[in-house]
Amino acid sequence: MNKFIPVVFWMRAISCLGIVMIHSISITLSNNPNLVKNEWPTYLQVYLMFATPMFVFITEFLTAHKYGDSLKEGFFKKRLMILGIPYVLLNIFWTFSKYDSATFIEFINNFLYVSIRGYSVTYFIVIIFQFYVLHYVFAKYLKNIKPIPMIIGSIIITSIYWAMRLRMQAPDNIFGQIIWGKEGQTIFFGWLTYFLLGYYIGKNYTAFKKAIQKYTVPIIGLLVISVIFVYYTHTSGYNSAIGSKRVDTPIYTTSVILAFFLMSSWFTYVPKFILFISNFSFSIYLMHLIFLNKMTMFSEVVYLDILYKFIVAVFLSICISYLFNLSKYGKYFVGNVNTLTHNKLNKYEKPYKATNETLNSVESSSV
């Protein structure tokens, strides 16, 4: 029995690269105002919007798979060190980068604006910590509830939440200011689907893995339907904004996640490149926008400009994170880099189930 879950490395790497591609396209489009909306770069962005939700799904999936319904002592302390410190330090950087603070009080206000209100790329860490709290409080109850009704219900609730923010006017009170404001994008209601999906698949992974091929047709059918749904909501103008906080994202991301697991039930090999990107995924996610925001137009040919920005942002993020992680303290500044080798990952013929030893080595980058 192997120690690893190959699909996690695939999902983490593809999601990480997808996020960099989304932002690379955004920077290129901002420099090309003559591009018509709904040209191919926009569609590519829309169909990569599963990336951040899949990142946070992986976190709950690994948590549920390793710990089941109860978290061990020291769980939150370790996560505060691994995730919390980079979150604070990166947001201090973003605060200095975005705002000129004349006084310390003004700096604190700007820092809260960037970190708590979700005005930096680190907002996904806020979501992850909410998932940890939800797991700690509700896992012991969720185990007694059937998964499918819960997941379907969560897709409906999450979709309604995003639709409400999109189509309804915010009430003139503190509730409206929070839910309809930038903070509303990081509240767990909008991400509940990925928490429940991660919990139930992670906790029941052995049975899920054995049974998934029986549902090949429904999974492929759901993926096709959700792709059409995304196309309709985007082109109709109902939800044309680019972002992972869309009405169609919960059902679309669910179908993509299930498709990844279905693929992995037949194809378990993890190429060196996928493992390499997975090892650096946390740092790439944290750092890529630092470089993208400094880039100007490289080429008037749109796809070349996007590709240039994408490659440079990934490359520089990897280089800087590698150099920082040569020190034992570097991970607190740019995120932890996993050191899992390709030989160790693939030394078994049939990768199947993760154990505590392996999850200890990969969970620090499971974001």
pLDDT at res. 365: 39
CB 58 within 8 A of CB 198: yes
pLDDT tens digits, residue range 68-113?
888 888 899 999 999 999 999 988 988 888 788 878 888 888 888 8
* Highest mean pLDDT: which range of 1-5, 64-68, 113-117, 176-180: 64-68
CB 250 within 8 A of CB 193: yes
Q: Which residues, in sequence order, are CB contacts of 222 under 8 Å at separation 6+?
A: 251, 254, 255, 258
> Which amino acid makes up residue 130?
Q
Q: Does residue 367 register a pLDDT over 50?
A: no
Nearest to 259 by CA among 10, 66, 56: 10
Whole-angstrom distance, CA of residue 264 vs CA of residue 252: 19
pLDDT tens digits, residue range 308-324?
999 999 999 999 999 99
Location of structure tokens 């996560």: 79
**Helix 6-30 / helix 51-67 crossing angle, nearest 10 deg:** 160
Q: Does residue 357 register a pLDDT over 50?
A: no
In this prediction, residues 338-361 reach a mean pLDDT of: 59
pLDDT tens digits, residue range 141-156?
998 999 999 999 999 9
pLDDT at res. 1: 36
Q: Does residue 8 register a pLDDT over 90?
A: yes
C-alpha angle 46/283/19, rounded to 5°? 5
pLDDT tens digits, residue range 238-278?
887 888 889 999 999 999 999 999 999 998 889 999 999 99
Lowest-pLDDT range, 15-19, 171-175, 327-331, 349-353?
349-353
Average pLDDT, the chain: 88
CB 5 within 8 A of CB 363: no
Q: What are the boundaries of each domain within the chain?
A: 6-365
Nearest to 72 by CA among 136, 119, 167, 161: 136
pLDDT at res. 239: 84
Under the banding of pLDDT at 50, 70 and 90, the label for residue 118 is low
Q: Does residue 366 register a pLDDT over 70?
A: no
Q: Does residue 13 register a pLDDT over 90?
A: yes
Q: Where are the alpha helices (DSSP H) in the chain?
A: 6-30, 40-47, 51-67, 75-79, 85-98, 104-115, 123-142, 147-167, 174-179, 192-203, 205-211, 216-235, 249-266, 272-279, 281-292, 302-324, 331-334, 342-345, 356-362
pLDDT at res. 15: 96
What's the token pair of residue 132?
A: 């940890």
pLDDT at res. 212: 95
In this prediction, residues 296-302 reach a mean pLDDT of: 86
Q: Does residue 158 register a pLDDT over 90?
A: yes
